[in-house]
Amino acid sequence: MKFENPVPLDELAQLTGSQIIGNGSSLVHGINEIHNVSAGDLTFVDHEKYYDYTLKSAATFVLINKKMDAPPGKTLLYHPEPFEAYNAIAKKYKPELFSTKQIADSAIIGNNTVIHPSAFIGDSVVIGDNCTIHANATIYAYTQIGNNVIIHANATIGCDAFYYKRQPTHYDKMHSAGRVVIADDVEIGAGTTISAGVSSDTYIGRGTKIDCQVHIGHDVKIGEQCILAAQVGIAGNTKIGNRVTLYGKVAVNKNIEIGDDATVMAMSAVPNNIEGGKTYIGYPVVEARTFARQVAIIKKLPELWEKLKNL
C-alpha cells in the first residue's frame, strides 16, 4: 500500500511507540509485507529466521524486534511486537469502512451499469461503464472495477485476507490494507470470492473469465484472458500469467508463479512454480506427457509382478 502522501518516519515511530535506529528524518512512501516491498516501503519481521532475508529486501524501513545496527541504506524501527506495530499503521492509513446504505454515497458508478437492488456496494468503490452486478453480490470498500464487467449472484469481492499470526493462546489478524482491482471485460461467476490484498492489490487482468465458486486469495495477480473453472482455489500472493487455463478443482499454492499459456487439468495441485506453454496434470502436477507415461507403466505393474513371482 502506498500512502497518499509520504509520511515522516518519526510520525510512524510515535504512532507505534517504536525506537528509530538510523536516519529518523526519512519519508516513508508506503507499507508492504515482505513479498511486495519496493524502495521507500516499510515492512516488518519478527522471527530471527527471516531477519537476513528481510534486511536484504528492497524495503527501506524495517520494523524489527531486535536491536541492531541498521544496514547501509536501511532504517530500523525497534518494537517488541512488529506485527502489532505494522497493523497499527495499516489501520490508520487504510481504515476499514462500513456503509449503512445498499450503495455507499462515496461509490462511483459508471454509465449504463446495472446493479441489482439486493447487491451491496461499499465505500470508495469505483465501477466502470456497462457493468452488470447481479443479485446479492457484495463489493467491499475500496474495490476498483473496470468497464464491461459482469459479477454474478452471491459473489464477494474484496473480503478480508486470510492472514493471521499465531500466538500461544490465539491468532492475531493482519489488517487488510490492499484492494481488489478488476480490469475491463472480466466475468466473475456466482458464489466466487476474491480477497483483498494484505498490502498490495489483488488483481484480475483484462478479459479473464472466472467460473462459479472459485476462491482467489490475497495479493494474487492474474493476467489477461485467463480461464478459471469451478472450484479452483488460489492461495495468497501467487502470480498467474496471461492466457492461463485452470480446470475444475485445481489447487494452487501460495507465493508461486504460473507462466503464460499454461494449462492445468482438473483435480490437480500446483505446489511450485510451473513454466508457461505446457499442459500439466496430477497431484502434484507434472507435464501431461510425463503423466501419461507414468500411467502406462502403472498399468503394467500387475503383469510385471506376476512375472517376478514366477522367477
What are the catalytic residues?
218
Query: Angle CA(177)–CA(125)–CA(193) in degrees, nearest 5?
Result: 70
Single-letter code of the amino acid located at 242: N
Give yes or no for a contact between 140 and 158, defined as CB atoms under 8 angstroms apart: yes
Cβ-based neighbours of 131, under 8 Å, separated by 6 or more: 110, 113, 114, 145, 147, 148, 149, 150, 151
- Three-state helix/strand/coil letters over 22-51: CCCCCEEEEECCHHHCCCCEEEEECCHHHH
Radius of gyration of the chain measured on its C-alpha atoms = 23
Cβ-based neighbours of 229, under 8 Å, separated by 6 or more: 211, 214, 245, 246, 247, 248, 250, 266
CA 285/CA 268 separation, integer angstroms: 6
Sign of CA dihedral 295, 298, 302, 307: positive
